[in-house]
Structure 1
Amino acid sequence: MKNILLLFVLFVTSQIFAQEENQQENQQENNKVYSFVQTKAQPKEGIHQFMNNFINAFSLNGLPISNLFELKVKLRFIVEKDGSFSDIKIVSEDCVGAGEEAIRVLKTMPAWKPATHNGKMVRSAFTLPMKIRVDEDDKKLRETQEKSLNEIEEKNETISETYLKSLDNFLINTDLFEFKCNCIFVKKDNKKDLYYESQDESAYYQISVEKKDAKEAEQTIKDVKINMINQGFIVSEIQLSESKAVELTIYTRSYRPFSKSKMIVLYKEGYFIGIVISSEDPKIADAVTEHFKQTFKLKL
């Protein structure tokens, strides 16, 4: 029997942007799906047990894998306030049928602890890239999993010049800002959140633009800094598009393999801007963020 190694990369970083809605928007607020939250949704049994349960339930039977060493599947779904999963979608799959099998398994998993934001349970969105390795060796699953995780942690690849040059391939141009990347537009949420994904799916961008008064924005940035410092993340002052900004470096170490996100927040001309750039590979996260900071221009 073939063993399966499932490597989870949870593309969800901590949502720490303060959001306030007036009374007319209460219903909309209740139904809102958050991409970034103060306390993220997580399995009640812990992520490692969840991974083991998922692995045990995932079946390769009927999948065309005879010539495959590994297959990749990416799901997007919503964790509801009761911890159940909804709106599960296949974003990509290398092997026909693998996405449907991943959805089947996810639907059998116990409800998670829902995300919370500002002290309330909220609906939250997850993008879940997975690598499912098919191992012919008859080793124990736990030994195989530990070996692969260690390989990922010790990985020390450099970013190629070709990749760096590719970051100039496209100019993203909106009414409020522009920047260069090798990415494409994915979607727009709530008229203020824009999502982009690199063509090779190695990096992800979210840019939020929201009108705020200066006092509110100043408090939001202050809360962001305190929140991240208390969690042990790196906080630094930078310049972005000739404006003062705060950069936060986030390692999602509670989920392996490690992923890294860079978050940048700033306020200019009545607008609060929040930017998140994430990657499974910390070196890519760093390279993409540095390039972004060089090419990003506000039009305010």
Structure 2
Amino acid sequence: MKIVIYLCFMILFSNFGFAQENLNSPEDRIHNFVQQKANPSEKNIDDYKKTLMVDMKSKWNLSFSEVILKFIVEKDGSISNLIVISEEWKPTENDMIQLNDLISEKGKWNPAKYKELNVRSSLNIKLIFQQ
């Protein structure tokens, strides 16, 4: 009887594992756990943040302390789905277009890698402006 129950569990869990693999395989999946994170292709992330803060501060005369940029780095290194999180700055639609352009002008990103393949990944950049 124990063997029958054991076999039933083995069949159940082996099918579950197969189903999970199929659910995670679509091309547009956003990977949160990757083997290599996305990073700017031109600079290291700290230099990228510094130049982005200088550009944002001069363009919008920002005088508050913190902004979080959330976006997706696509498999080709472009960005999409830009979101700004800030208690003090509520950018207009035009501001968001300009910010997206500003980030895009800084060059493409090296996409994240999972199992040696380029994958889409979510990225958060926290910018702390000096008062």
Q: TM-score, normalised by structure 1?
A: 0.31
Report what 2:88 is aligned to.
Answer: 94
Q: Are 1:57 and 2:55 an aligned pair? A: yes
| 1:62–1:33 Cα change, 3 Å | closer
Paired residue secondary structure (2:86)? strand
The C-alpha deviation readout for 1:110-136, integer Å capped at 9, x for no partner, is 1011100011110000122221123xx
Contact 2:71–2:83, Cα closer than 8 Å, also in 1? yes
* Helix, strand or coil at the partner of 1:31: coil
- Matched with 1:117 is 114
Count of equivalent residues: 108
Contiguous gaps of at least 5 residues in structure 1: 1-19, 135-300
Residues 64 and 35 of structure 1: is their aligned pair in 2 closer, same or farther, counting only changes over 3 Å?
closer
Task: State the shift of 1:57 in Å.
Answer: 2.2
Is the alpha carbon distance of 1:84 and 1:35 closer, same or farther for their aligned partners in structure 2, counting shifts above 3 Å?
A: same
Q: Helix, strand or coil: the match of 2:75?
A: coil
- 1:126 pairs with 2:127: no
Is the contact made by 2:31 and 2:122 (CA closer than 8 Å) also made in structure 1? yes
Alignment correspondent of 1:38: 35
Q: Does 1:75 align with 2:75?
A: no
**Structure with greater helix percent:** 2
Report how far residue 59 of structure 1 moved.
3.5
How much has 1:62 moved relative to structure 2?
5.0
Alpha-carbon contact 2:56-2:62 (below 8 Å) kept: no
Other structure's SS at 2:102 match: helix
Give the percent of matched residue pairs that are identical in Structure 1 and Structure 2.
26
Is the CA contact (8 Å cut-off) linking 2:31 and 2:121 kept in structure 1?
A: yes
Partner of 1:21: 21
Q: Deviations over 1:6-53 (max 9, x none)?
A: xxxxxxxxxxxxxx724x864x1x111011211001112222332343
Q: Give the 3 Å change call, closer, same or farther, for CA 132–25 of structure 1 in structure 2.
A: closer
Q: Cα offset for 1:102?
A: 4.7
TM-score by length of 2: 0.65
Distance of aligned partners of 1:64 and 1:106 in 2 relative to their CA distance in 1, 3 Å threshold: closer
Matches within 5 A, 1:188-199: none
Distance 1:82 1:59, change over 3 A: same
* Contact 1:115/1:122, CA 8 A, preserved across alignment: yes
Distance 1:91 1:64, change over 3 A: closer
Whole-Å separation in 1 of the counterparts to 2:104 and 2:73: 12
Give the aligned residue type for 1:32.
R
State the secondary structure of the residue aligned to 1:126.
Answer: strand
Distance 2:46 2:128 in 1: 15
**Cα RMSD over matched residues?**
2.8
